[in-house]
Amino acid sequence: MLVLGIESSCDETAAALVEGDGRVRSDVVHSQVSVHAPYGGVVPELASRDHLRNVGPVVSAALDRAGVRLADVDGVAVTHRPGLVGALLVGVQAAKGIAWAAGKPLVGVDHLMGHLLSVFVRRGAGDAEPPRFPFVCLLVSGGHTAIYRVDAPAPDSVTELGATRDDAAGEAFDKVAKLLGLGYPGGPVVDRLAAGGVASRVKLSPPMAARGSFEMSFSGIKTQVAQLVAREGAGKDAQWVADVCASFQAAVTGVLARKVIEAAEREGVGDVVLGGGVAANAELRRRVSEAGAARGLRVLVPPVASCTDNAAMIAYAGCERLARGEHDGWDLVATSRTVLERRTRKGGGRR
Ligand code: KG4
Ligand code: ZN
């Protein structure tokens, strides 16, 4: 099976061709960072317009790089939820047109299913081993932060064990970077600067660190950093900024790592998987790997290109849907809500 995937849920226009076994034939990502950087965050209207300009060339480039014609694909998969609705609409409408013109099945994919299954995407060197079901996944991105139990590669078999009650972890990285004047997107810069900082020089309390709960919160630590910057920031040097980055990153990744390992132990699974843009963070990858190894768990971390937004994970999740005999029609809509919100275990819910 060979599927064309299209992704336009936020600030990346992406297209990829992926085989049913996860092998990537091509993977093209057009980043809008330069469009949004002057505003310090994603401007939805500008995102939609930029997707509209780039979706055609990006799909053509993906087909060219794979050496594939549309006639050769078995389906067209597209992210249709969750995300910025105006941005999603561009990818969805492009996918409908392409699928209709080529006479191929259209499959809508939940972006979070893409992140949860991104560990199955095969890029070659640097791939993680594919996990065994059931596994526990920490999905940490700019829009979502949650821990899931995944029993099979379908939304009905995914259970949310806990999630952030306010900001996503990536959002906190981006806001802290903005407070420190480090630009957008903040995650990669904080990650880089933290490596040269000393966390113990700046005291921040870890957010919702209580054991036994998989609920999380990242808005309080952002406020702690805002207060710190207002109180002590004036005239501070680059080393102080690096120390704040190190302390913030240690607090956030410490809580994330501990909760996902505790969740895996409680669920009795052997495999722990990371997904989402924040899973590109070096300290998070190291902490979860070390904590997992200490408990005899296998920690499977996809390469960075599979963690941040990409269309290969969407194509792969689309392959899974097509393999189950599922597809969509003209009534496929774009929505800001994930299908996974409904799959909360009773009593362990969010909000
Ligand atoms: O998954 P993603 O590409 O898009 C969403 O679905 O949200 O995640 C983007 C988020 C941004 O908040 C970005 O700052 C964060 O992932 N991020 C990182 C790193 N690389 C990207 N956060 C921490 N460390 C990184 N190395
Ligand atoms: Zn994402």
pLDDT at 182: 94
Name the residue among 152, 146, 107 with its Cα closest to residue 274: 146
Q: How far is the CA of 158 from the centre of ligand 2 (A)?
A: 17
Q: How far is the CA of 308 from the centre of ligand 2 (A)?
A: 6
Contact 253 CB / ligand 1 (< 6 Å): no
Asked if residue 334 lies in contact with residue 82, where contact means CB atoms within 8 angstroms, the answer is no
Contact 188 CB / ligand 1 (< 6 Å): yes
Q: Which ligand is nearest to the Cα of residue 307, counting in written order?
A: 1
pLDDT at 342: 54
Distances (CA, A) of 144 to 11, 139, 172, 268: 15, 7, 11, 24
Of ligand 1's atoms, which has the minimum distance to the CA of residue 115? 1
Residue with CA closest to ligand 1 atom 10: 142
pLDDT at 220: 95
pLDDT digits (tens, 9 = 90+) for 270-314: 999 999 999 999 999 999 999 999 999 999 999 999 999 999 999
Asked if residue 115 lies in contact with residue 276, where contact means CB atoms within 8 angstroms, the answer is yes
SS3 string, 237-298, reads CHHHHHHHHHHHHHHHHHHHHHHHHHHHHHHCCCEEEEECHHHHCHHHHHHHHHHHHHCCCE
Contact 275 CB / ligand 1 (< 6 Å): no
Residue with CA closest to ligand 1 atom 13: 187
- What contacts 129, CB < 8 A, 6 or more positions away? 298, 300
Q: Is 34 exposed, middle or buried (0-12, 13-18, 19+ CB in 10 A)?
A: exposed
Residue 159: how many other CB atoms lie within 10 Å: 18
Contact 283 CB / ligand 1 (< 6 Å): no
Backbone angles phi, psi at 129, to 5 degrees: -60, 145
Contact 186 CB / ligand 1 (< 6 Å): yes
Q: How far is the CA of 274 from the centre of ligand 1 (A)?
A: 13
DSSP 214-234: --B--HHHHHHHHHHHHHH-T
Residue 280: how many other CB atoms lie within 10 Å: 23
Residue 41: how many other CB atoms lie within 10 Å: 15
pLDDT at 180: 96
Contact 174 CB / ligand 1 (< 6 Å): yes
Contact 276 CB / ligand 1 (< 6 Å): yes
Q: What is the mean pLDDT of each run of 10 residues along the chain (351 residues)?
A: 98 98 98 94 96 98 98 98 98 98 98 98 94 98 96 97 96 96 93 98 87 92 96 91 98 98 98 98 98 98 97 98 98 96 50 33
Token look-up 């080393």 returns: 239
Q: How far is the CA of 240 from the centre of ligand 1 (A)?
A: 23
Of ligand 1's atoms, which has the minimum distance to the CA of residue 83? 6
Q: Which ligand is nearest to the Cα of residue 169, counting in written order?
A: 1
Contact 302 CB / ligand 1 (< 6 Å): no
Residue with CA closest to ligand 1 atom 14: 187
